[in-house]
Structure 1
Amino acid sequence: MAVRAVIFDWGGTLTPWHPVDHESLWRSVCEPHFPPGQVAEVATAIRTAEQDLWQVTGRSHQSATLAQVFERAGVSATEEFLASYFQAWDPHTYTDPDAVPLMQGLRERGIKVGVLSNTMWPRSAHERVFLRDEVMDLIDGAVYSSEIPWAKPHHEAFRAAMAAVGVDDPAACVFVGDRPYDDVHGAKGAGMRAVLIPNDDVPAFGGAAPDAVITSLAELTDHIDAW
């Protein structure tokens, strides 16, 4: 069946994967907003809450939000604090340079472009990144798990992404991601083709085989054309 939509994961896929020191990042965020003697304690509380909620998501496939992180950590996050947080993440969010020509090529072929991300961030934070990197106008629909009850690999997350791009047949959709369990297993379970961009920091999962493996986004078009 011809491909009608390609849906991308965000972190590690549209944004190239690289390690992030989350503990140091949270300390840098907290430093301007808390007394020096409280910075380490608050940063640790936030990071622990964040990890706990990601573990819940991993077990139950239920989504979580930044607001839940701060509530769990007992921290009141002001607008200024949130601005510092997203500013600290800026260097880690730049879109892969191959994404723009890839998305343009897909749309020239009449193929819808979507995004499905497991994220605690609000839509506005992701859209700010896409606007900054001039890819916002190339995305036909996006779903962020922070806005729905479920996260990948739950099939409802993939169905929501299909609805966002206006395609109702999963066999006509391709999902591209870097996580064998969340992305490949999840997409295959939802009836889609799955393309893996592997990296060594993501746990392996042998329960579902990708339809293709690529090392860069630039390699994707050849597979799409072959399908």
Structure 2
Amino acid sequence: MAELRAVIFDWGGTLTRWHDVDFHAESLALAQAVVNADHHDPSEITTRLHEAGGIVWGRSRDHQQSATIADLFTEAGLDHDPELLQAYYEFWLPHTPTDPEVRPMLEELREMGLKIGVLSNTIWPREWHVGFFERDGVYDLIDGDVYTSEIPWTKPSPKAFRAAMEAVGVDDPAACVYVGDRLYDDVWGAHEAGLRAIHIPLSTIPADQVGHTEGRPDAEVRALRELPDAVRSLG
């Protein structure tokens, strides 16, 4: 077994703590970015946006096809102004704080000589994610980060994992371990790409986001502070 050189993390539910989300309220926030909204019934707008979200994330789950916020509006058949996304951004802000255990955990991993990466399934732009990490004082500890809104694929596609490996400068998947809260996207996907996988089972994954397969992790932790020891156990 190759010596570990990098630890790559999922974001939501892994480096942030899990939150249940009111997706109807999310659609109401998105609706504020619709151009010429007065030409549509308000309930129709929110329904179309909610249904479009299900379609976009269904493609991610079933076909590993990435998307952006703009793609969601296109799927809904609605024009939008990116400058009007502030309500949507603010809706999500309470769900974005980095877990307080992240910085000391990442510092310990770096002291072990490991590269740190992030690979997140997301429709949000890179600058939002980087901004959250910078706000919380941890971005300086990340060697490479990939957000699926900027590549063609989502987890569990091996191509998404390879993009994250490239971002941290490691070309051997056996030298990488992926850490995430989902047994399909994160554990099964990592194994399919040749990485090892550590599961953090602290999230309540909605039924429509569960994939066709549940992977069996190489290790499991109940808190991020336990992660360095779990990584050591993998060699």
Could you state the TM-score of these two structures normalised by the residue count of structure 2?
0.90
Tell me how far 1:17 sits from its aligned partner.
1.0
Alpha carbons 1:154, 1:186 under 8 Å: kept: yes
Give me the whole-angstrom Cα distance separating, in 1, the residues matched to 2:197 and 2:56: 26
How far, CA to CA, are the matches of 1:99 and 1:140 in structure 2?
Answer: 15
Provide structure 1 residue ranges, at least 5 long, that are not aligned to the other structure: none
Q: Say if 1:84 and 1:191 are closer, same or farther in 2 by CA, change over 3 A.
A: same
Identity percentage over the alignment? 50
Check the 8 A contact 1:100/1:135 in 2, yes or no.
yes
Q: Which runs of 5+ in 2 are unaligned?
A: none
**Is the contact made by 2:11 and 2:119 (CA closer than 8 Å) also made in structure 1?**
yes
1:223 maps onto 2:224 in alignment: no
The one of 127, 130, 143 aligned to 1:127: 130
Deviations 1:162-218 (A, max 9, x none): 000001111111100011011000101111110001146224876531001111111
Q: Is the 8 A contact 1:175 1:187 kept in 2?
A: yes
Kindly provide the amino acid, as one letter, of the partner of residue 230 in structure 2: H
* 1:180–1:205 contact (8 Å) kept in structure 2: no
Name the CA distance, whole Å, in 2 between partners of 1:88 and 1:166: 35
Q: 1:89 to 1:214 in 2, by over 3 A?
A: same
3-state DSSP of counterpart to 1:84: helix
Task: Return the match for 1:214 from 197, 209, 221.
Answer: 221
Using the alignment, how far apart are the partners of 2:100 and 2:68 within structure 1? 29
Change (3 A) 1:44 1:165: same
Residue 162 of structure 1 contacts residue 170 of structure 1 at CA under 8 Å; is this kept in 2?
A: yes
**CA pair 128-41 structure 1, distance change in 2 beyond 3 A:** same
RMSD: 2.0
User: 1:96/1:77 Cα in 2 relative to 1: closer, same or farther (>3 Å)?
Assistant: same
One-letter code of the match for 1:62? Answer: Q
Task: Give the whole-Å Cα distance in 2 for the aligned partners of 1:19 and 1:225.
Answer: 32
- Inter-partner Cα distance in structure 1 for 2:41 and 2:135: 34
Aligned residue identity for 2:200 = I
With over 3 angstroms needed to count, the CA separation of the structure-2 counterparts of 1:120 and 1:31, relative to structure 1, is closer
Tell me the number of residue pairs that the alignment of Structure 1 and Structure 2 aligns. Answer: 227
What's the CA shift string for 1:45-75, capped at 9, x where partnerless?
1111011111112111111111110111122
CA distance in structure 2 between the aligned counterparts of 1:204 and 1:73, rounded to whole angstroms: 24
- CA pair 122-215 structure 1, distance change in 2 beyond 3 A: same
| Residues 179, 196 of structure 1: 8 Å contact kept | yes
Return the match for 1:178 from 161, 164, 181.
Answer: 181
Describe the SS at the equivalent of 1:174.
strand
Task: Give matches, 1:1-227, under 5 Å.
Answer: 1-30=2-31, 34=37, 38-199=41-202, 201-202=204-205, 203=210, 207-226=214-233, 227=235
Q: Secondary structure at the match of 1:198?
A: coil
Tell me, yes or no, if the aligned pair for 2:121 and 2:148 is still in contact at 8 Å: yes
SS of residue matched to 1:182:
helix
Comparing 167-176 with 191-200, greater Cα deviation is found at 191-200
Mapped partners of 2:152, 2:29: distance in 1: 31
Amino acid at match of 1:21: D
Q: Normalised by the size of structure 1, how large is the TM-score?
A: 0.93
Give 1:30 shift.
3.3
